[in-house]
C-alpha cells in the first residue's frame, strides 16, 4: 500500500500544473442551466386548434341530443360557415393572427436606431 499522508497528498495535488478555464466558462454554464428557457411543450397553433376542436365538440354535445338532431345541427353549422361574410371574417382573422405571430420582434432595432448605432 501507499504510505503517504493526507497532508502530503494535498501538497502534491496543489503542485499539479492546471490549465486555466476558458474565459466564458461561467457564462456558458449559466446560459445552459439557470438561464435556459425551456421549449414550449405544445406549439401555440396546436393549442389553438385543440381549443377550437374541444369547443366545437362541447357545443355539439350540448346541442345535438339525438343523431337526427346532430345531423341537422351539422347542416346549420356548415351553412353558417359557408356564408361569404363568415368566411371573409375567418380569413381576415386567421391572416392577422398568422401575420402577428410570424412578425419578427423589431424592438432591438428601434433601440439601436434611438441610440444612434
Q: What is the pLDDT of residues 12-70, one digit of tens each?
A: 888 988 888 888 888 888 887 876 677 777 788 888 888 888 888 877 776 655 556 66
- Cα of first residue to Cα of last residue in the chain, in angstroms, is 68
| Distance separating alpha carbons of residues 45 and 98, to the nearest angstrom | 9
pTM of the complete model: 0.31
The pLDDT value recorded for residue 54 is: 87
Full domain range(s) for residue 14: 1-33
* In a shared domain, residues 48 and 104: yes
* In a shared domain, residues 28 and 60: no
The pLDDT value recorded for residue 66 is: 56
DSSP state of 95: H
Distances (CA, A) of 89 to 35, 59, 83, 97, 117: 41, 21, 10, 12, 42
* In a shared domain, residues 57 and 108: yes
| Distance separating alpha carbons of residues 111 and 117, to the nearest angstrom | 9
* In a shared domain, residues 77 and 101: yes
* In a shared domain, residues 63 and 28: no
Domain count, the chain: 2
CA angle 21, 24, 25 (to 5 degrees): 50
* In a shared domain, residues 46 and 28: no
116 backbone φψ class: left, alpha, beta (φ>0; ψ -120 to 50): left
* In a shared domain, residues 14 and 64: no
* In a shared domain, residues 16 and 64: no
Q: In sequence order, which residues have a C-beta less than 8 Å from that of residue 87 and are 6 or more positions away?
A: 81
* In a shared domain, residues 79 and 106: yes
Amino acid at each position: 500500500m501507499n504510505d503517504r499522508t493526507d497532508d502530503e497528498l494535498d501538497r502534491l495535488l496543489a503542485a499539479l500544473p492546471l490549465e486555466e478555464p476558458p474565459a466564458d466558462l461561467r457564462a456558458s454554464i449559466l446560459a445552459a442551466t439557470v438561464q435556459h428557457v425551456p421549449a414550449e411543450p405544445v406549439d401555440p397553433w396546436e393549442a389553438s386548434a385543440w381549443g377550437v376542436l374541444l369547443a366545437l365538440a362541447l357545443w355539439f354535445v350540448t346541442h345535438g341530443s339525438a343523431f337526427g338532431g346532430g345531423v341537422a345541427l351539422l347542416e346549420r353549422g356548415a351553412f353558417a360557415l359557408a356564408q361569404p361574410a363568415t368566411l371573409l371574417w375567418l380569413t381576415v382573422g386567421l391572416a392577422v393572427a398568422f401575420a402577428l405571430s410570424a412578425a419578427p420582434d423589431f424592438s432591438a432595432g428601434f433601440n439601436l436606431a434611438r441610440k444612434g448605432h
